[in-house]
Every structure is written in structure tokens, then in C-alpha cells.
Amino acid sequence: MRHFGPVLLFLYLLGLGGKASAQNTPLLSGGVAFVTNTTGGNTTYIPLIQPLAAVPLGDHLLVESRAGLLELFTPSSSGYQHSHFTALTYLQGDYIATRHLTVVGGSFLLPFGTYNERLTPVWIGNFQDESLAEPIGQMGTGVGLGGQVRGSIFSDAHSSFSYAAWFSARSGNLQFNSERSSGGRASVYLPGQRLELGASYGRLLQGSHENFGGAHLWWQTKDAGFRLRSETMRGEHAYGYWFEADYRPIRDGSGQVSFVRRFEPLLRMQQTFRIDNAASDGVPARNTQRADFGLDYNLPHNARILTSYSRQFSPGGDVNVWETGIVYRFLLPAWKGR
Amino acid sequence: MMNSRRIIFSAVLCATLARCEFLSAAQNDSPQNDNQSAMRTSNQHDKPSRTAGADSSREEGERVFAVHCARCHNAPESFSPRIAGTITRHMRVRANLSPDEERAVLEFFNP
């Protein structure tokens, strides 16, 4: 029953949101996907749902939550075995206090680097799996339980500067598992160049009291669909980087997207380096390099087909990784209205 | 066994692709159902009496969407105008938009 507590709370908030104004109806969004991963000849099948709900309350408050429900079909000696996984990804309240300050409370995605907050939704990420170095700085779960302040310090046509800082308590709760930690991220964005530069810092405040640092650079062309995303992160036991380039379909003058323009070629390169194996942090135990080549297809009606081939090099053995998937994104009001 | 599953999965993907292309073509042939993008949906609701200031605000919203929101994700093809405010508030928090940028994006979504 306790697993349904957060769900019941959220449904109650959905009810409160019913008194919202015409454009502020609570929404249900998310992605439904079926993905496969073939690593070293073993194929795993994963049907999954990532629902997201957002409920505005009044003029300054927003409650939002995302969950993940998936079934994992993995090969075994007797065929396939399956296991399921259901969890809240985050459940947070956002209070817009001033022009430059938003206070976030609850269970939230850690604003360390860019991947965790921006690219983990299944309907957004170009590749199905996260980068090998992503666990660095994510404090084990990628989620904090506590408070966060964030906002835009200034923003004009030439530049903008934004920040986020968090403090998280330790929690062993099944739905809100987190480590005691603090940290933050600052980034500057230059609209003219479409260039974003940022840095992140995090400190684990329990156990080994480890420090983490990171930096990111994102760039996109002004009149074409080319995007470059890159990130590097360092901890006391491992460090690494990834960069990803993709070419998005661009609408022609009529607003339509042709068959060819719906293809989205991708490239990602990544490396992780081990300093020692004193911590079990989710990063490969040996130095690893990996190249990912992908080709996504953006179907009409908010659906995407994701395909990729990766070659991973490691002293423990080189492997091929094949991934395919289809993702449908939904976005609708929580209830019917006029 | 594994090959047959891959073949079945590939067939399902191809069928889905063909189905969606068919639906898209049918939708494009019907001007009454033409809501291919949030931007186009908004444009269809333009009123003749729109002022130059409002147009400018919407253009600013389009610019803000392109530089802040599209950095991470493609625009959804369409959504109900009743959730435009909720989406922009979510984006204000997630993308650290300023209040002016939030208003501009809302104007762009739902003028």
C-alpha cells in the first residue's frame, strides 16, 4: 500500500489543479516504448512506459512527477526470464518565488551535468542508453531528496546566465532513494552563437565524502538542424567524457517534413578512465572506449524509431551493441474540457 | 528463435512506419485536420486584427523556443491550447526561462 502513497498524493493534487485557468490545465505526458538491446549476442527486450504529470497550482506553484514502469526480458539458460521495475523517478514541487529564483522541494533530478535532467526522458534521448560516464556525479541514484534553488540571473538577446544548487538528505525509502549530497550547476548561454557552456560541482556528504566536477558544452547551428552536445565529468575514482552529434530534420517552408528529412543520423563517442576500483559507482571497471552510430526516424504523430550500433573497446573484451526501439510520446490535458 | 524474433520485430516496425506515413499523407490531404505543429496550429488561430506588437511577441516566443527548448527536444507536433500554460511553466523551471521568455513562449504557443 505504501507504494501507492505518492500516487494517491499526486491524484489529489490533480484534483486541486482542476480549478486552474483555461491554459493551465494539468497535463499528462510521457513516452511509451519498446526497445531491444543486443550486447555480445544476447538480446534484451524492454517494453516501458514513462508517464509524466504536471499540475499548476495558482500562479506560482507547479507540482510535477515522472515515473518509470518497465518489464525486462533477459536471456537465460532456459530461454527468457523476465522481471519488472516500477518506480517514481521524481516528485517535486516548484515554487516560482521571484523573477530570478525558483525553489524546488521534494524528490528531484540532480542538476549535475546535463544528461540527467535533460536527456533521460525516453521520448527525448537520441540513444536508448546513457553514456558510460554518466554515473559520475549522480550520487548513486541521480535523484536528490530535499531542496533546490534555481533560476535565470539575467537573460537578454545576447546572453543568459542560469544556475541551480541543491541539498539532498539521505533516504533509504524505496521510492525516494537518495544520498546525502550537495552541489550545483552554472551555465552561460549565448543565443547569437547558440552556444552553452557550463560547469557542475557535487559533493557526497556521507561515506567517502567524494567530490565531483563536470563541464558541458552544447552547440547548435542557427539555420540548420545540427546539434553538438558534450560533457565531461570527474570523480575521485573515475572520470570520462562523451560527445554526441545529430542532424535533425528541418521543416521546409510549408511547414511539412519530407520522408528523407525525418531521418536523424547520430554519432556519439565516449571514454571512461578508472583511477581505482575502490568504489562501486556504475562506471566500467576498466578503461573503456565506445563509438555509437545511430539512425533515428521521426514518424508523424510524435513517434520515433531509434536504431544504433556501437562498438565498445575494453581490456576485458570488445563487444558489439545493437539497439532498436520505437517510442511514442503523448501530451494531453489531464481531463476533457471546453 | 532469436532470428525469428528479430524478423517479427522488424516487420512490426515496418508496418508501423508504413501506417504512420499513410496516416500522415491522409492528414496532409485534409486541410481541416492540418495541425502538423504547435506553431502551425497557432498560426491557424491568428485573428485579422492582430497587432504588430503581438506578432513581434510571438516571433520572440518562436525564437525563445528555438534557442531554449529545441536545444533538448523536438517540438511536439500538436497539443491542446488548454495545457499551453502548464507546458510553459514546466519549461520555465526546467530550462530556467526568465518571466519574459515564459510569456513569449506562451504567446507563441497560444496567441
The answer, yes or no, to whether residue B48 has pLDDT greater than 70, is no
DSSP 8-state secondary structure symbol assigned to residue A261 = G
CB < 8 Å & 24+ apart, contacts of B63-70: B63/A191, B63/B104, B64/B97, B64/B101, B64/B104, B64/B105, B64/B108, B65/B105, B65/B108, B67/A189, B67/A191, B67/A194, B68/A189, B68/B95, B68/B97, B68/B101, B69/B95, B69/B105, B70/A220
Q: What is the pLDDT of residue A257?
A: 72
Residue A236's identity, in one-letter code, is E
Q: Any residues with CB less than 8 A from the CB of A158 and at least 6 apart, and which?
A: A190, A191, A192
Q: What is the mean pLDDT of residues A306-324?
A: 95
- Return residues 3-22 of B near A (CB < 8 Å): 5-6, 9, 13, 16-17, 20-21
Maximum Cα interatomic distance, chain B, rounded to a whole number of Å: 65
Judged by a CB distance cut-off of 8 A, whether residue B50 touches chain A is no
Least confident of A21-35, A68-82, A205-219, B59-73: B59-73
Distance CA A302, CA B14 (A): 16
The answer, yes or no, to whether residue A223 has pLDDT greater than 80, is no
Q: What is the pLDDT of residue A229?
A: 96
Q: What angle do CA A16, A19, A20 make, to 5 degrees?
A: 105
A27-333 carries CATH number 3.40.50.720? no
pLDDT band at A1 (very low <50, low <70, confident <90, very high): very low
Mutate to test the interface with B, among A14, A16, A19, A24 (most CBs of B within 10 A): A24
pLDDT band at A9 (very low <50, low <70, confident <90, very high): low
pLDDT band at A28 (very low <50, low <70, confident <90, very high): very high
pLDDT one-digit tens code per residue, A260-294: 888 999 999 999 999 998 877 889 999 999 999 99
Distance CA A19, CA A15 (A): 8
Please state the domain extents for chain B: 1-34, 36-111
Q: What is the pLDDT of residue A21?
A: 58
Least confident of A60-64, A232-236, B44-48, B60-64: B44-48
Least confident of A162-171, A318-327, B35-44: B35-44
The answer, yes or no, to whether residue B38 has pLDDT greater than 60, is no
- The b/e string for B79-110 (b: 16+ C-beta within 10 A; e otherwise) is bbbbbbbbbbbbbbbbbbbbeebbbbbbbbbb
Note whether A62 contacts B93, CB cutoff 8 Å.
Answer: yes
Contact A213, A234 (CB under 8 A): yes
Q: How many angstroms separate the Cα of B2 from the Cα of each of A37, A79, A318?
A: 13, 10, 22
Return the number of CB contacts < 8 Å for A and B. Answer: 140
Note whether A23 contacts B106, CB cutoff 8 Å.
Answer: yes
pTM of structure: 0.82
As a whole number, the mean pLDDT across chain A is 89
pLDDT one-digit tens code per residue, A70-120: 999 998 888 889 999 999 999 999 999 998 999 999 999 999 999 999 999
pLDDT band at B111 (very low <50, low <70, confident <90, very high): low
Q: What is the pLDDT of residue A256?
A: 67
CA distance between the termini of chain B: 55
The answer, yes or no, to whether residue A217 has pLDDT greater than 80, is yes
Tell me how close the Cα of B99 comes to any Cα of chain A, in angstroms: 6
Q: What is the pLDDT of residue A262?
A: 87
Least confident of A42-56, A183-197, B94-108: B94-108
